[in-house]
Amino acid sequence: SDPPVPRTPTQLAFVPPLMASTTAVKTFAAPSLPPSIFPQLTILGQASADAQDLKAPITSPELFTADKAVRERQELHVLEVDGEVVGYAKTGFKDLWFYNPTDQKAGLQSHPSTPCLLDIFVFSQRSGLGRVLFSRVLESSGVEAGRWAYDRPSFRLPGFLRKGWGLEEGEKQSNGFMVFGEFFED
């Protein structure tokens, strides 16, 4: 049978998420991504870019299947509601440098293989689906939310992390990532 025709962001915004009978998160490691997800990921990636006022999407089937995604051990966590793809979180590991504001003598510190949230988007905002998605990401990684680096966070992300995981006062770094005090704790 033919794959389902992807809905537009406007159509997806009307999916009643809390009334859904089935919510699932499927995880794919780069470069493995089923072609059936390509149309929805293209729409979601563009919607994410639009929401963040970016010139181009930072998540797409082409980017996720590229060599860089493999090197960074990227994973795509796809949120489905009643079989419909309505959101995703893209994670990976990067070798980064951070400045710890509580230890000024240390200067920049190297943090190899830092777990990073590279992009996250859910069509139905304020529905609880973002929390379901990111909770699953944290659970599968075994890494607490305060120990992640967040790549170029939108203005909404700090509030989302504060409300869902009690993270306060993220520190924006010169490399564009945001980290929290817990990140530097041993």
Angle (nearest 5°) at CA 44 between 11 and 92: 155
Instruction: State mean pLDDT over 171-176.
Output: 94
What confidence tens digit (pLDDT) does each residue in 78-132 have?
999 988 899 999 999 999 999 988 887 877 889 999 999 999 999 877 678 999 9
pLDDT, the chain, mean:
88
Of 18-32, 103-117, 137-151, the one with minimum mean pLDDT is: 18-32
Reported as a single tens digit per residue, the pLDDT across 47-82 is 999 988 999 999 999 999 999 999 999 999 999 998
